[in-house]
Amino acid sequence: MPQAFSFSLPPRDVPLTVRLQVLFGGFFNQFGWLFFGFGMIFVWLFLPQADLTSFYRFHGKLDQTQGTITANQKTHFSEGGSKHSNGTPIYRHDYTFTVAGTTYSNASYATGYTYAPGTRVSIEYPQGNPAVSRVNGMHRTPFGPSVLMVLLFPLVGLGFLIPGLILGWKGDRLLANGKVAFGTFKSKEATKTEINHQTVYKLTFEFTTDTGETCQTTARSCEPNRLELEPQHEIVYDPLTPSYATLVDGLPGSPHIDDRGVIQPATFGAALRITLLPAAAIIGNATCLILKLVR
């Protein structure tokens, strides 16, 4: 038996607190912001110390000469390590060498070993460019290219974050401008994703547009019974592309619609909790970028 739609006609006023919950809420978003924000701490700390010149300066023909170590010191960096070990220390070596009557000074870094001042060492540099040099077997900065592994965490975070933001933007757009239909549960499929050891299920719902077209949309949940046992669910869809749709009950925060069809604001506390991780990640990374630029 058909039911009257509870939503008001589009365009609708969507409170800011609801928009924030839908845009930034949900597992994919929150997990993504956590991994991205946490991982970027290591990117800012270690990536600027990575010697990537092997990829673009030292990949061709190299000139060789002899140089002299003038000083060495233990840096505050180390490689490896665990809770039982501080890792292998990294040492800085200052050196000088002369090419065609011009003396050059530079520094290279070695892991786990050091040369005393006065030691003669082999120096290499790109052919014809002695201003860019390193001690043979050392790096020009404390870490080698392997430190690029620190990019793994933020990349994993982005892998969750970007789909989460796309779904959130879709939900906000459809809440404001989508048409409403009632959908019925059609099928359930287990995915390979788990949250707190609970399987995430993909649920499919079927609905009919106001023009009589039959379409489907999906939702993902760790609690499929909550959605599949309800006889009908409100769905908002794009009238120009009806397959572009979303389940209202499946949106983060489950927006509340009053008897007049008006979307009610979420509480300030709920919106604040949802935006804490995104705000911390954005502000923290923006601050690091500004500090790097002004140095």
Mean pLDDT for 139-163 is: 93
pLDDT grade, residue 6 (50/70/90)?
Answer: low
> CA–CA distance from 107 to each of 112, 143, 286 (Å)?
16, 13, 31
- What would the two tokens of residue 194 be? 């788990």
CB-CB contact of 221 with 227 (8 Å): yes
Asked whether residue 136 carries a pLDDT value surpassing 70, the answer given is: yes
Quote the percentage of the chain above a pLDDT of 90.
Answer: 66
Q: What pLDDT is recorded for position 85?
A: 64
Q: Give 215's pLDDT tier (boundaries 50, 70, 90).
A: very high
What pLDDT was estimated at residue 37? 94
**pLDDT more than 70, % of the chain:** 96
> Longest Cα pair distance anywhere in the chain, in angstroms?
95
CA distance 160 to 140: 35
CA distance 202 to 212: 25
Instruction: Please give the average per-residue pLDDT across 75-95, as a whole number.
Output: 83
Cα–Cα dist 169/163, whole Å: 10
Lowest mean pLDDT among 89-103, 116-130, 259-273: 259-273
pLDDT in tens, 40-63: 999 999 999 999 998 888 988 999
Least confident of 81-85, 150-154, 239-243: 81-85
pLDDT of residue 83: 53
Sorted by where each starts, the structural domains of the chain and their CATH numbers stand as 16-40+152-289 (no CATH), 53-143 (2.40.50)
Show the tokens assigned to 175: 């809440």
Distance between CA atoms of 258 and 249, rounded to whole angstroms?
Answer: 14
- With beta carbons less than 8 A apart as the criterion, state whether 215 and 209 touch: yes
User: 16-30: per-residue pLDDT in tens?
Assistant: 999 999 999 988 899
Q: Mean of the per-residue pLDDT values for the chain?
A: 90
Closest CA to 235 of 189, 175, 166: 175
Res 160 pLDDT > 50: yes
Q: Residue 2 pLDDT > 60, yes or no?
A: no
CA atoms lying within 13 Å on the CB side of residue 13: 5
User: 93 near 102, Cβ under 8 Å?
Assistant: no
250 vs 280, residue with greater confidence? 280
The reported pLDDT for the residue numbered 4 is: 44
Per-residue pLDDT tens digits for 222-244: 878 878 778 888 899 999 999 89
pLDDT digit string, tens, across residues 247-271: 988 888 888 887 777 889 999 999 9
Stretch among 55-59, 147-151, 287-291 having the lowest mean pLDDT = 55-59
Structure tokens at 182: 């009632």
**Residue (of 288, 282, 220) closest to 249 by Cα position:** 220
CA 143/CA 79 separation, integer angstroms: 8
Q: Is the pLDDT of residue 166 over 60?
A: yes
The reported pTM is 0.77
